[in-house]
Amino acid sequence: MKQKSPLFIGFAALLLIAGLMIKSQTGTRSSIERHILPGTVAKLNNANIKVDLSKYAVNFFMENSASMDGYVNGTTEFKDVLGKMIVSSHHHCKSTDLYFVNNAVYKADGNAINFIQMLNPSRIKVGNVGSTDVNQIFRNILNRTKKDTISVLFSDCIYSVKNVTDELDNAKNATTDAFLTALKSTPELATIILQFTSKFSGFYYDRNDAPYQCNSVRPFYVVITGNKNALTQIYKDFKIKKMPGLKNVCFLSSESWTLDEKTACSIISDYTNARRIKNDKDNFLDITSIDLDKAYNELQFAIGFDGTNIFAHPSYICDASNYYIEPSDYKVINVVPASPSAKGDFSIDPKNPYAIEIKVPNGNFAPLITISLRKGIPSWVKNSNVKDDAGGVPPSDKSFAIQKMIEGIADAYSTDHEDYFKLQVNINEYNR
């Protein structure tokens, strides 16, 4: 019997080892469970969450400083919205209590109906109705906001400052401190900020407390704070989207999620100029191969995710500028509700699916991409902001320093975690 040469045996052994390595890599890559990504706290679950609002007490706080008189003079959207929310709370929640608030908190006499009927300038004068400190209002309200309590503030949300150069940043930091203090004792808190417009007939007071007669439309704000899931239920059950005068919405929370193959996917049926995208048979988020079309100088494709339990407003989710993607050559160009065909690319039945459309120049391909939805203020806040109101009434759709105030609240919710969610996609190969 002839002996095989040592060289042949060694070569065969190398081939065997290489084959085992390739089999191991391709066989286990998709079966490795994704870990919670850095900067997030847990994996997102898309299970339907139904909250029983009858277990929650709701406290309504109406700022009653002199600057608010114009909102309750006659028939106004302000009074209509307040009335509708009080009635909804009365029928859905455990209890509904009503307060006037300035530098202190004053319980209103009577029931909800009496409170609505008494809303006129002459009947809301309780306590110090001169210039008020909005941050003191926040502190007073947040001190009363517990695990089973929802607080609802109606206010024009205007800082009482004289010097816009020195005092606005201090006021913003004080807002952040008020909400951070509340989150320390009740971490599950979240906040919804609603911007409305209403007829206004009264005096507008600028930062120097100079009065200006105003008979026009003015913005006002409703700041709702409490348990995140309860706020989601309130937004639905109170039918807030149908409230008169609603213009804009901002959702804020401290949560930060990892999205995996159970809540996200690579979309293979739509939003692409590739000839074919093949995803992993065991993991619909990872991509096995992308076959490029030589007719295009850049590749476009999309990643889908289920936004059901992400506490962010759809308008914020669909703003591509709120996303961060790595590598930097990759760009998020659009975010839209996912098409019917794209829904079939998920491993589960998504209740609220979105598609993140991505573009990358040909040749700059990477094996791993990371996408995150960054926390921040929505674009409408900047568009609604007036940096200085000295000497007159701001335009009817703008508020003095509202950007600083909402930034102050948002900073509290992003102190520990900068992203609403983060996901990663492995791409095995790009075929030219």
Give one DSSP letter per residue of 135-165, joined into a string.
HHHHHHHHTT--TTEEEEEEE------S-TT
Asked if residue 348 and residue 294 are part of one domain, the reply reads: yes
Containing domain of residue 340, as a range? Answer: 258-374+419-431
Averaged pLDDT, 326-340: 97
Asked if residue 353 and residue 213 are part of one domain, the reply reads: no
Asked if residue 157 and residue 107 are part of one domain, the reply reads: yes
Asked if residue 271 and residue 286 are part of one domain, the reply reads: yes
pLDDT tens digits, one per residue of 106-120: 998 777 777 877 788
In a domain, 9, yes or no: no
Asked if residue 390 and residue 269 are part of one domain, the reply reads: no
In a domain, 140, yes or no: yes
In a domain, 27, yes or no: no
In a domain, 40, yes or no: no
Comparing 68-77, 129-138, 219-228, 278-287, the range with the smallest average pLDDT is: 129-138
Asked if residue 114 and residue 62 are part of one domain, the reply reads: yes
Please answer whether residues 112 and 90 qualify as being in contact, where contact means their C-beta atoms are separated by less than 8 angstroms: yes
Q: Percent of the chain beyond pLDDT 90?
A: 81
Q: What is the pLDDT of residue 112?
A: 74
Averaged pLDDT, 332-360: 96
In a domain, 10, yes or no: no
Asked if residue 312 and residue 202 are part of one domain, the reply reads: no
Q: What is the pLDDT of residue 8?
A: 40
Q: Domain with 407 in it: what CATH number?
A: 3.40.50
Structure tokens at 111: 């029931």
Provide the 10 A C-beta neighbour count for residue 394. 21
pLDDT tens digits, one per residue of 19-77: 433 333 333 334 345 689 999 999 998 888 889 999 999 999 999 999 999 999 999 99
Asked if residue 231 and residue 134 are part of one domain, the reply reads: yes
pTM for the full predicted model: 0.90
Asked if residue 336 and residue 192 are part of one domain, the reply reads: no
Asked if residue 408 and residue 335 are part of one domain, the reply reads: no
Q: What contacts 406, CB < 8 A, 6 or more positions away?
A: 193, 250, 377, 381
Q: What is the pLDDT of residue 34?
A: 65
Asked if residue 348 and residue 314 are part of one domain, the reply reads: yes
Structure tokens at 41: 């706290």
Q: How many structural domains does the chain have?
A: 2
In a domain, 100, yes or no: yes
Pairing of strands 257-258, 42-43: parallel
Asked if residue 157 and residue 227 are part of one domain, the reply reads: yes
Q: How far apart are CA 103 and CA 97, in angstroms?
A: 19
